[in-house]
């Protein structure tokens, strides 16, 4: 057990660090090759927030544990809203730009409903994965097209990506870190999945529960740390945009990977418990953004954070209860 726990911890550390190196190297190479800042910005938003989840999902599917990848995608979305936004809103009020409420959050909600609809027959087929991934590419293309034509100047997801474009590295250094980062991502994700799967086996619990809890929380911790750090510095404008962007990529990109690599049956709790909770939390975030009264409109305030954090505790408690009783 100690060996497996060590593998999980080291896997998390290497996974997060190598994801940053890979994205920085890839973004610098793109700059060398004359790729537009708009495309690089989307690369930062997409890969920067979801690379760990993508590699974990791929590694889990390749090792015959697709449910761990499914749980990671759904669990990360739940954790992002309840834990990351919940804890941060307890510290400082978070502004929600009207553009996110009108466009990005409805897209996340639609993506969640689409994934639930596709998986509702109990089978996660390769075609389901193709549809989800195609939806992600369509949304990225549409966002870039509208931004390029100056119809969407205040797109928070694109703005976030533009602000996080790293300084250009020398070509050889960028190439090295892109390749090294990718190799380390593959190694660390395999290590993490190996350790997590063996812990699940020893404890007699499912890969799904491990994905929804340990892996999902672990891959969301960097976002929690960066969001709280930004909040303390007063840089709260993009906090919601970061989480919304991450959830959109998780819904369509990360969730597609298990279906593409290892089509499988979907367990009943995913459809009856986890996906409805994920969708309900997205809807609740939209409701909180609209505000129950004028002073709380277009921002998350303390009591919103308390509700979200309470829901995080309740969800983890539900998973624990159903695991020990064998209900879910």
Q: Per-residue pLDDT tens, the chain, 328 aa: give them.
A: 788 889 888 888 888 788 778 777 877 777 777 766 556 655 665 566 677 888 889 999 998 889 999 999 999 999 999 999 999 999 888 888 777 888 889 999 999 999 999 999 999 999 999 999 999 989 888 877 776 665 545 555 555 555 555 666 788 888 888 888 888 888 888 888 888 888 888 888 888 999 999 889 888 887 787 777 767 766 666 678 778 888 999 999 999 999 999 999 999 999 999 999 999 999 999 999 887 655 557 788 899 999 999 999 999 999 999 988 877 6
User: What is the per-residue DSSP string for 86-131?
Assistant: HHHHHHS-EE--HHIIIIIHHHHHHHHHHHHHHHTTSEE-HHHHHH
Residues spanned by the domain of 129: 2-325
On the CB side of 188, CA atoms within 13 Å amount to 25
What is the tally of structural domains in the chain?
A: 1
Q: Which residues contact 289 (CB under 8 A, 6 or more apart)?
A: 96, 100, 101, 105, 240, 297, 298, 299, 300
CATH number, residue 279: 1.20.1420.30
b/e burial code for range 230-254 (CB count within 10 A of at least 16 → b) = bbeeeebbbbbbbbbbbbbbbbbbb
Phi-psi region of 56 (alpha: psi -120 to 50; beta: other; left: phi over 0): alpha
Q: Do residues 15 and 192 touch, judged by C-beta distance below 8 A?
A: yes
Total-model pTM: 0.84
């Amino acid at each position: 057990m100690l060996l497996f726990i060590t593998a999980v911890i080291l896997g998390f550390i290497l996974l997060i660090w190598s994801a940053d190196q890979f994205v920085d190297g890839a973004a610098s190479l793109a700059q060398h090759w004359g790729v537009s800042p708009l495309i690089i910005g989307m690369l930062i938003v997409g890969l920067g927030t979801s690379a760990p989840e993508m590699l974990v999902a791929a590694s889990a599917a390749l090792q015959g544990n697709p449910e761990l990848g499914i749980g990671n995608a759904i669990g990360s979305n739940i954790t992002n809203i309840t834990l990351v936004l919940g804890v941060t809103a307890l510290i400082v009020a978070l502004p929600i730009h009207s553009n996110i409420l009108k466009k990005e959050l409805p897209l996340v909600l639609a993506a969640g409903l689409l994934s639930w609809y596709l998986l509702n027959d109990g089978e996660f087929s390769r075609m389901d994965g193709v549809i989800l991934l195609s939806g992600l590419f369509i949304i990225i293309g549409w966002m870039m097209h509208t931004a390029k034509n100056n119809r969407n100047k205040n797109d928070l997801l694109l703005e976030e990506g533009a602000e996080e474009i790293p300084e250009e590295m020398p070509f050889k250094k960028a190439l090295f870190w892109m390749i090294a980062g990718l190799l380390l991502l593959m190694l660390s994700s395999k290590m993490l999945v190996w350790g997590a799967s063996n812990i699940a086996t020893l404890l007699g619990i499912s890969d799904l529960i491990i994905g929804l809890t340990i892996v999902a929380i672990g891959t969301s911790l960097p976002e929690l740390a960066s969001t709280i750090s930004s909040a303390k510095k007063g840089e709260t404008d993009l906090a919601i945009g970061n989480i919304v962007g991450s959830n959109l990529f998780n819904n369509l990109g990360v969730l597609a990977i298990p279906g593409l690599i290892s089509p499988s049956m979907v367990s009943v709790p995913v459809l009856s418990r986890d996906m409805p909770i994920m969708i309900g939390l997205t809807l609740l975030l939209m409701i909180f953004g609209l505000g129950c009264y004028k002073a709380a409109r277009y921002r998350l305030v303390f009591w919103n954070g308390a509700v979200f954090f309470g829901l995080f505790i309740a969800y983890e408690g539900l998973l624990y209860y159903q695991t020990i009783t064998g209900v879910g």
